[in-house]
Amino acid sequence: MHIVLDDTAMTAAGQGNVLASRLIHRAHAEPGWYLYAPTCALVEADRARPGTAEHLAALPGITVLELDLPAALAVAQQETWAAAHSQYAAQPTPDRPDGAIVATTAPKRWDGEPVRVLDLNA
């Protein structure tokens, strides 16, 4: 299971969202669960809730995704960097042929976008 945290999911995790906490636990404890934090989304989450970036980056079950050249080119074509980097990170790759699911607390943000969404609102 490959899951990308968008900035809203990261902020929610820092505020004790139960579903986000479960994802973090699974990514750390269960084989086959992978959790990704795109750098641009991490920056936005930290702006919304200072300390979020440092906290999430320190968790062993989360992989921070850098803004490499292909990601930067994808981000440059979008309106917001956080959503664009999250969407780019969720696209299929050789390691993730089915892509990844975007975890969010703002599922409407993703309407019409080519990603699968996991709503963290319980």
Query: Residues 2-38: pLDDT tens digits?
Result: 999 999 999 999 898 999 999 999 999 999 999 999 9
- Tell me what pLDDT residue 91 has: 95
- Tell me what pLDDT residue 88 has: 95
List, for residues 39-80, the tens digit of each pLDDT value: 999 999 999 999 999 999 999 899 999 998 988 888 888 778
pLDDT band at residue 1 using 50, 70 and 90 as cut-offs: very high
- Bridging pattern class, strands 101-104 and 62-65: unpaired
pLDDT at 104 over 90: yes
pLDDT at 92 over 90: yes
Listed residue (89, 95, 29, 35) closest to 62, CA to CA: 35
Q: Can you read off the two tokens belonging to residue 115?
A: 């990603």
CB atoms within 10 A of CB 30: 10
Give the single-character DSSP code of 79. S
pLDDT at 95 over 90: no
Q: In the beta sheet, which residues pair with residue 36?
A: 4, 63
First to last CA, the chain: 20
- Bridging pattern class, strands 101-104 and 2-5: parallel
The answer to whether the CB of 39 falls within 8 A of the CB of 65 is yes
- Tell me what pLDDT residue 30 has: 93
Q: Tokens 């300390």 appear where?
A: 51
- Tell me what pLDDT residue 24 has: 94
pLDDT at 100 over 90: yes
At what angle are helices 7-14 and 81-90 packed, to 10 degrees?
100
The answer to whether the CB of 60 falls within 8 A of the CB of 26 is no
